[in-house]
Amino acid sequence: MGEIVGWLALGVGICVPLPQIAKLLRGEGSGVSIGTYALLCVAMAGYLVHAISISSEVFIAAQSVNLATNSIVLVILLRRKYGRS
């Protein structure tokens, strides 16, 4: 049962950054903190290393996907701040 809940959590986790990505791509989101997303990505990378070390497939998948999608938000924010498109 726990593994099923873990995979369901992965599905929900995938959806978390999607509204922010859509908002940023529409040119909105001026109040978004670069520092928050930077720390979030560092934390997720740490969780991914831990998941790999304990060989937990659901957490490896979850952290890989969440790190990738939240990194997209961070890259968009950094490009906006430093004028790169």
pLDDT, tens digit (0-9, with 9 covering 90-100), for 44-84? 898 889 889 999 998 899 999 999 999 998 999 899 888 76
Domain ranges of the chain: 2-81
Mean per-residue pLDDT over the chain, rounded? 83
Instruction: List, for residues 15-54, the tens digit of each pLDDT value.
Output: 777 787 888 888 877 777 788 888 888 888 988 898 899 9
Q: How far apart are CA 39 and CA 28, in angstroms?
A: 21
On whether the CB atoms of residues 69 and 17 are closer than 8 A, the answer is yes
How many Cα atoms within 13 Å fall on the side-chain side of residue 64?
Answer: 8
The topology under which CATH files domain 2-81 is: Monooxygenase (1.20.1280)
pTM of the model: 0.72
